[in-house]
Structure 1
Amino acid sequence: EKLQREKREAKEREKKRLAQEEAERKRKELEKQALEAEKREKERLEAEKAENKRIEAERKEKERLEAESKEKARLEAEKAEKERLEAEQKEKERLEAERAEKERLEAEQKEKEQKEKERLEAEQREKERLEAEQKEKERLEAEQAEKERLE
């Protein structure tokens, strides 16, 4: 009986020891799984962080390119406006020069017409003077002839 009891106790101790070993093995397995899960979560968070960084960098690059594009468009608009104003100014100057040339030609024409008028008037006065002289000469000649006839 004593031997059986010792055997039974030895069996129970062995059973207990095996149960403890199994519990320890399960505990280590769970710990290992927990560490792996932690590692995977850490990797996932790092990948997420890297993806967020990439997205932010893309957004900033897009903003930079848009700002560059806006600035380029603004500068092109300024250049076009400057060219338009310069063209307007040149056209204004051309029209002003045309107007001044037209005025000069009109003034020249008026001066020519005035000189021609004065020349014609002088010719007319000279013609009238000569006619008057001729009439006076004829009158004097007629008087002389009448005087001679009367004598």
Structure 2
Amino acid sequence: MARKAKVEGDARFTPKRAKNAIAVAKVLGPAVIPVVAPYAVRAAGAARELYDRYQARKLGVAVDQLGSYTGRGAALHARIAGLAEGCRDLERSEKASPADKSFAREALGTLEQLSATVRAAERMPAARRKSAHRAVAGELERLEGHLLHRLGI
């Protein structure tokens, strides 16, 4: 008797329970789908928006610019773009010395080469791509340090 009680209380999904679930879904499905669908679409849109904001924040760019930075080197491309903007600001600054302006021009050339390197690394095998990305990240850290020093930060 104890064994029978255990079997009846067993919560396994049996073929009979599967048939019952399908029958219930057939009856309720057409009535529930029109009610639930708009909420599901709205929830999916909200989830996508949250994910896009997360990605943009992670890359350090605005949400509307997120489409410009894709692929495995997206974070590096975003860093390169931000650093290039900083160099252009330094170059246009009235307070910048000729040495600062020269640095900015040289850095912009280097950033163009780094951007090309990241684009080329997209088609490399994983080990080589990671190595190239590490090298680019190291160079970006060096340039960022110099730029911040020249900006007095």
Bigger RCO (CA 8 Å, 6+ sep): 2
Larger Cα-atom Rg: 1
TM-score where L is the length of structure 2: 0.25
TM-score where L is the length of structure 1: 0.25
